Amino acid sequence: MPRSIPVKVACRVCHDRRVKCDRSEDVPCSNCRNAGRQCELIISRRGRKRKLPLLPTEAGSSRSLPQTSRSMPYEGVTSSNTPLATHAQDNGDKPQQEPCFPALGPSGKTPYVGDSSNLNYLIQQFGNPFGGTTDVRPLQDHLHGAMLARLGGPTTQEIERLRISTNESLNGQGAFDLPSKETSQALLDTYFNFSLAALPILDRSRFLVSLQDGKFSHLLLNAIYIAATVYCSDSVIADAGFASRYAASLTFYRRAKSLYDAGYETDAIVTIQATFLMCYWWNGLLEHKDPWYWLGISVGMAQALGLHQAKSYIRLEEKDRKLWRRLWWMIYVGHPLPNEVSGLLLL
């Protein structure tokens, strides 16, 4: 027999008595049943606060948000990230009026937000600032665009300056450097044959297509290299120009960490996959960002996206649904390396 779903609003009797209400959708609470009274829900005033307009309106006309994206890719680097549209025009012209929710193209990214996300909480409490549904998934890009649209020209120029500075810093750290084609293929083959077979956290065919098209994620690719250095032969390490397996793993780890710290990757699923693979890096007992650290980041991001909730999978395509399930269960079971390290320490 299915269990009744508890409601989030107390009945009037329990509310007046300031006691816990165990009312379900179709079953009165125990307090009302014992007292022989009718169990009526109170009308909650939560979320009924006056909503302020997100953007200032002009007399006789309204401004719509230009179509935006979540991030700006770095110049000179081929990436899967979508370019950020310019929100403030220096010539004083107003942006063209566009719908608040433009349809995503075949290459567009749909943001997914779980219950623990701050954005989800704000929408549920204060409503959709654009009107309509309270579904948070179509809103993430447009809220980001609304924020940038209100900053003005000088602030937008400062953001662009910081973007260029970050790009130069990442290039200086070698974050976008890649091994030779032969070495890269050897590392990928090693990863697919050993690590991916045990931890199926990504779609192999989809990743290879993105790699061939030049739209791959540098963060994920370097994380894959980290995992591959654990299993590859010594000849692959030598051909890559590294003095030892440790030096190779450290190099790929520093590149991946630089990209993660800079917030370069905007695809949350890719970031979860990459941080999960970064658990392969372990530098000893004094290392603060050890495998448990990266596993914790994967867990937190996965829960923020709602990978642990069945309702998050409703609107996904079949391929994405299977990938999300595999990724969540791999995270739930836990990466083998932190467990092995803990076991060795306990022994």
pLDDT for 74 beyond 70: no
pLDDT for 118 beyond 70: no
Chain position carrying tokens 């994920």: 220
Contact between residue 292 and residue 282 where contact means Cβ atoms under 8 Å apart? no
pLDDT for 337 beyond 70: no
> What is the Cα–Cα distance from 281 to 295, expressed in whole angstroms?
11
Q: What number is the average pLDDT over the span 209-238? A: 94
Domain map (residue ranges) of the chain: 1-42, 169-345
Q: Which residues of 86-118 are buried (b: 16+ CB within 10 A; e: fewer)?
A: ebbeeeeeebeeeebeeeeeeeebebbbbbebe
313 secondary structure, DSSP code: G
Query: Which of 142, 66, 133 is CA-nearest to residue 111?
Result: 142
Contact between residue 177 and residue 256 where contact means Cβ atoms under 8 Å apart? no
Q: What is the pLDDT of residues 257-282, one digit of tens each?
A: 999 999 999 899 999 999 999 999 88
Return the pLDDT at 38. 86
Question: Tokens representing 2?
Answer: 């299915």
pLDDT for 97 beyond 50: no
pLDDT classification of 113: cutoffs 50, 70, 90: low
* 215, 184, 299, 147 alpha-carbon torsion, rounded to 10°: -30
214 by Cβ neighbours in 10 Å (0-12 / 13-18 / 19+) ranks as: exposed
Tell whether the torsion through CA atoms of 277, 278, 279 and 281 is positive or negative: positive
Q: What is the pLDDT of residues 182-212, one digit of tens each?
A: 999 999 999 999 989 888 999 999 999 999 9
High-pLDDT (> 70) share of the chain, %: 63
Return the pLDDT at 272. 95
Contact between residue 325 and residue 313 where contact means Cβ atoms under 8 Å apart? yes
Contact between residue 63 and residue 57 where contact means Cβ atoms under 8 Å apart? yes
Return the pLDDT at 277. 94
High-pLDDT (> 90) share of the chain, %: 33
Q: What is the pTM of this model?
A: 0.59
Q: What number is the average pLDDT over the span 32-48? A: 76
> What is the Cα–Cα distance from 262 to 170, expressed in whole angstroms?
8
Q: What number is the average pLDDT over the span 80-100? A: 39
Q: What number is the average pLDDT over the span 109-115? A: 50
Contact between residue 11 and residue 35 where contact means Cβ atoms under 8 Å apart? no
Return the pLDDT at 84. 34
Return the pLDDT at 129. 54
> What is the Cα–Cα distance from 185 to 344, expressed in whole angstroms?
33
pLDDT classification of 144: cutoffs 50, 70, 90: low
Greater pLDDT, 44 or 322 = 322
SS3 336: helix
Q: What angle do helix axes 336-346 and 291-305 make, rounded to 10 degrees?
A: 140
Return the pLDDT at 260. 95
> What is the Cα–Cα distance from 139 to 133, expressed in whole angstroms?
10
> What is the Cα–Cα distance from 231 to 190, expressed in whole angstroms?
7
Q: Which residue(s) pair with 6 in the sheet?
A: 24
Phi-psi region of 321 (alpha: psi -120 to 50; beta: other; left: phi over 0): alpha
Q: What number is the average pLDDT over the span 88-115? A: 42
Question: Tokens representing 283?
Answer: 């530098």
pLDDT for 168 beyond 50: yes
The 10 Å Cβ neighbour count of residue 210 is: 17
